[in-house]
Structure 1
Amino acid sequence: MVRNGFSESSIGKSISSFSRAMKGNQDNTSGSSTAARVGAKALSFINDVKSIGFINTLDKIGLSHLKGSSSKELRTGLLEYFNESGNGFYDSIAQQSMSELMRELLQSAENEQDFDEILSSIKNEEFLREFIIKFIQNCFFANFAEKLLSLFEGLEKYDVAQQSVKTYIRNSIESEYPMEDVSNVDWTGPEGNKIIQEKCNKAYEILSIWSETLV
């Protein structure tokens, strides 16, 4: 990547190689299934908010103690709830990705009504795509951050490289990712997990296709 001047072409080649390796690696099944578990839990929560409201959803999932809390306490409590999914390698990546996404979505919420309105307005298919993008971005750097750091003289150059890779992953997935209506999926059952695994694997497939004509 650095030898080639860190061009968009070299980024594409590197990400393509990474994605092909993930597709061919037996551990990727674990990665996709972990992403599915974390994503399905969040989407189930979002659907409940849309159906019965934020306060009633807190009661339903055992977070009644958060009612009446400050916005900061609510965000912290929800992030802890979404992160209760295991402590393996991919568990940590999926939890990190969900935390990043939820923080972005809920950062402007100041009270319970704000949480209700923000969560109720989420489009499931867009939420799922964003989660998968973040998951794959974080997977790439979890695997190659140490190697990339060793290739650059300072953190500033690494930060530039990191942003370039993230942008390439995002743009590639957004341009080809099939947006489908998943608003009526039962995220508490096997159907939801299967859909997210398929979407995640489709994203790896998109990224694994590289040619000079794409850059």
Structure 2
Amino acid sequence: MKFLNILIILFLFSLTSCATFSNKITFENQVKLNKNTLSKINGFYETNSVKSIVKYQYSKPEEIENDTVNRYPLYSTLQTNDGYATGSVVKLENYSTKIEVQDKSKIVITYLNKDKIIDKVILKYKLKNGYLYLKNNNFKTKLIPGLCGNFEVDRTRIGLNSENNLIMNHSHYLYGAILFIIGDTKKSSFAGEYKRKI
């Protein structure tokens, strides 16, 4: 019984270090936001990234300029907190994502086709290190994690760069095990820059 308790404590402790943001997968030209400058993030942004950096667990970071395939669409990544949504080759010039800070803890994210609202979500956030850390179903499980199953942790944060474009960091961690014996772990990180439209 004591051994099982130790394993459970180690398992819970591992959750605190899961899906951390890598300094190698961030943009250097971040403008740190604070409570007085938070409204600067309000605006309309393009759906596909103009620049992104992707890193999978054992690979080197890969840079992607002008992601025409839209591998990491802005709205669906923010709305679902899943940075690995299926991309689309649809022309996206008429689409945009509107971001508006509502108060000290909530942000409204709206997906538009020209002026028509397609979808909208209100998320909670926390301001930390000049970024807005989004809170949206970032912990998911299947079966009983550790005993027979897995868990996934997704973390997303957004901010601004010196060109007044939106920057986003996303980190994903998957842990699967049977009887606390590690069967599979995967970690990936993504950073994207999205051009401001208005």
Is TM more than 0.5 here?
no
**Which one has more relative contact order, counting CA pairs under 8 Å at least 6 apart?**
1
TM superposition score normalised by structure 2: 0.28
When you count strand as a share of all residues, which structure comes out higher?
A: 2
